[in-house]
């Protein structure tokens, strides 16, 4: 049975916290599109999507907290907070991501809703 | 100056709680589309959209709680809970809505993420 949207969202947020990046990428279909945040150029395919998550690799610590996940058919939306520590700096990003899934349970499209006010570096 | 997405979202959730329905509809552009929840037929235009909110008119009490709103460019996503009391029954719906806005600050597209598990009648 294909992975269910809710399970994929939970797995996604777990992997954003722990890595490895390849396991995050494996949740995406090969030709998936990612717009993160909305308004920036759309990334198409695994190689382009990988660049998005590469910045996480240099964090000393990172964690995610899932506030809400809602599933409608083959789509899901998730409200969450990502925290990443780089040396003595802490970055906190609160966003809502939407995802569309194919029949195999892979993410085919992800769009991230967040703006400058939603990212705090302190 | 056009209404800002965050203000429209907050106004929308206030009006879903208080009505009147015409004021909710006025937040939408004339040819707006609404898919609520995702997977149901898309409603196009004010008359079709009005039907969606008509069910609220028969509630004895209703309230909304905004948990999170995230804005990216001309798009916004909001996590919220709607409670409506009908006689001795209480309906609670927890959803994430996404909205796209035109240059005038009107909603041109709304999509609602929620499934059967997110609506409780007790």
Task: Find the residue in A nearest to B76 (Cα).
Answer: A113
User: Looking at CA atoms only, how far is residue A101 from chain B in angstroms?
Assistant: 13
d(CA B81, CA B15): 14
- Residue ranges making up the domain that contains A33: 5-112
Residue A60 lies in a domain: yes
Largest CA distance in chain A: 44
As a whole-number percent, the residues of chain A with pLDDT over 70 amount to: 99
**Is residue B74 included in any domain, yes or no?**
yes
Residue A121 lies in a domain: no
Hey, is A19 helix, strand or coil? coil
pTM of this prediction?
0.96
Q: What are phi and psi of B90, to 5 degrees?
A: -120, 125
From residue B120, give the alpha-carbon distance in Å to each of A1, A6, B51, B59, B114.
27, 18, 21, 15, 12
Provide ipTM, 2 decimals. Answer: 0.94
Q: What is the pLDDT of residues A31-41, one digit of tens each?
A: 999 999 999 99
Whether B47 maps to a domain, the answer reads yes
Residue A32 CB-density burial (10 A; 0-12 exposed, 13-18 middle, 19+ buried): buried
CA–CA separation, B119 and B69 (whole Å): 20
B20-34 exposure pattern, b = at least 16 Cβ within 10 A, e = fewer: ebeebbebbbeebbb
Count up the domains in chain A and report the number: 1
Name every chain A residue with its beta carbon within 8 A of the beta carbon of B67. Answer: 67-68, 79
* Whole-number Å distance between alpha carbons of A15 and A50: 13
Residue A18 lies in a domain: yes
Res. A3 pLDDT band, cuts 50 70 90: confident
**Chain A: closest CA distance from residue B47 (Å):** 24
Is B86 inside any structural domain?
Answer: yes
Q: Kindly report, residue by residue over B53-103, the tens digit of the pLDDT.
A: 988 888 999 999 999 999 999 999 999 999 999 999 999 999 999 999 999
A120 domain residue, yes or no = no
| A119 in any annotated domain | no
The CATH number assigned to the domain holding A69 equals 3.10.450.50
């Amino acid at each position: 049975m294909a992975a269910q949207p809710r399970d994929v969202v939970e797995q996604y947020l777990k992997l954003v916290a722990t890595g490895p990046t390849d396991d995050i990428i494996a949740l995406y279909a090969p030709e998936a599109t990612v717009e993160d945040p909305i308004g920036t150029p759309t990334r198409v395919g695994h190689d382009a999507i990988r660049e998005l998550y590469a910045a996480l690799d240099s964090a000393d610590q990172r964690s995610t907290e899932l506030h809400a996940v809602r599933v409608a058919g083959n789509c899901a939306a998730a409200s969450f907070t990502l925290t990443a520590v780089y040396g003595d700096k802490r970055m906190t990003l609160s966003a809502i991501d939407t995802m569309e899934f194919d029949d195999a349970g892979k993410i085919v499209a992800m769009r991230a809703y967040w703006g400058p006010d939603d990212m705090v570096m302190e």
